[in-house]
Chains A and B, each alone.
Chain A
């Protein structure tokens, strides 16, 4: 049960049941779909940019607890950040959930995102945790095609 509690921390259960920023963002100037064909998880990320900064972000979709909570915490974590800060945060998050040692230097603080550290012990669930992030990343790059984890 210890490994399970490590994965399904209270904050993750809370965000999966009551996802934050779970709505269509009317003011969005970018919108992108992400899809995990293996488990059927879908996410749509809405993004409102102001100059070089994420002014507002929201998501919609259906997925497991890990993917829903990850998208929810992600929206909270990136709001107000510059694009460079978001990318740096994604790098650190990605390293954490894939179990790679953190890069040396002044990496950004993960804050709440650290609750997903348990994911690295569950290789089958890494894609659940990164689906929303990959979608956000592609939206920031200005990609028009839906993102697939496959």
Chain B
């Protein structure tokens, strides 16, 4: 039986879900007020990049207006202030991912750089000829190509876990691929093309059972639900700030401290050293060891502001609202005659990929654009997924918590208009 406290907490959550005031959240995003081709903008390309709330824009502007100085070096007030703001952002990310220590949070350009960092620093050190890396069939190119590069260099082999027709990750096939030569598992948390939430807990458990480290690409996960890296127990996790309502050019690489400490540095330069002589250079401790050069300071601070903003709303509330909107959109779009939905996994986040019989996705996007509706078309940087489903391209609507059911209705009306044009 639940305690009274638990029940009260559940009631409180219910009230907050019901009170999810999407109209007021929309006002936080100035771009959502603009028009495109004379129609209100309906932005459904959030998996590509999300829009930015005013508080993120203001934070960046304030940084340049009032706080700009290089960090970690100047012995003066302004530099101290900028350093503090940047390091505060690191702590915000640490709490957001529930990492043990802020030392485990490394700022990168995005998840692409995080994965390349692991391939470069961890892969290069640990891989030998004949070793294997396992990825899945629904990876973004950024979680395929870095592994191909390092595999080619090392004579290692890339193994791919297949997916089924619904876009589900096949755990039994994964089990078959695990073997003593497996040195790393690198899988996406949420597929950018299909929306599938992969069974990361089981994947990590199965890999750990054989003492194999796991990297999770969280680019499409962190904007939609709470991620706890300690609970997942993955060795590496990465995400991009611009998909999390923050600025472009900033991302996060999380790694367990003991692995990071054992890894060689990524790039050489300022800020990543303890001392330099021509005979011997000593590297700085983590996280600085992986952060050579002046970083994207306002990007980090802007990302911190985005995290503050999201936590003010609550990731649970965001997830509950988005799940309802996703179910609504899947039903509404799927009910249109001639529409085929790609990606019908039991657990999904944020993505509706589809095709329309007799119409190329590119034409769908052009016609929807005339209605002010922005969707993505093409291969979504996941060509193997296109191949798996036998199509050259897909149309994709992807959701954020500022999208509404009436916007989904407009998308459906837009798709009917596409059919009219091609009738």
Contact = CB atoms under 8 A, between A and B. Distances in A.
A122 B368 CA distance: 13
Interface string A93-133: 00000000000000000000000000000101100100000
B362 A128 contact: yes
B363 A40 contact: no
A122 B366 contact: yes
Interface residues of B, number: 20
A102 B24 CA distance: 51
A17 B423 CA distance: 10
B379 interface: yes
A34 interface: no
Contact of B378 (A13, A17, A38, A68): A38
Interface in B145-187: none
Contact of B363 (A1, A42, A65): A65
B366 A7 contact: yes
A68 B370 CA distance: 21
Nearest to B392: A40
Interface in A49-103: 62-66, 68
Nearest to A3: B370
Contacts of B363: 8, 64-66
B377 to A, nearest CB: 7
Contact of A64 (B362, B370, B417, B421): B362
A40 B360 CA distance: 11
B366 A40 contact: no
B422 to A, nearest CB: 6
Contact of A62 (B359, B377, B392): B392
Interface residues of A, number: 23
A38 B377 CA distance: 9
A125 B364 CA distance: 12
A62 B367 CA distance: 19
A7 B370 CA distance: 11
A39 B378 contact: yes
A17 B366 contact: no
B358 interface: yes
A124 B378 CA distance: 13
Contacts of B366: 4, 7, 122, 124-125
Nearest to A38: B378
Contacts of B361: 39, 64
B141 to A, nearest CB: 11
Given A3-B370, A8-B421, A13-B422, A65 B393 contact: no
18 contacts: A1-B417, A3-B37, A4-B370, A4-B421, A13-B421, A39-B362, A39-B393, A40-B378, A40-B379, A40-B383, A40-B392, A64-B361, A64-B362, A65-B363, A65-B422, A66-B363, A124-B366, A128-B362
Interface of B: 37, 358-363, 366-367, 370, 377-379, 383, 386, 392-393, 417, 421-422
Which 4 A/B pairs are nearest by Cβ-Cβ distance?
A64-B360, A64-B362, A40-B392, A40-B393
Given A8-B363, A38-B378, A41-B362, 4 more contacts: A4-B367, A65-B359, A65-B363, A124-B366
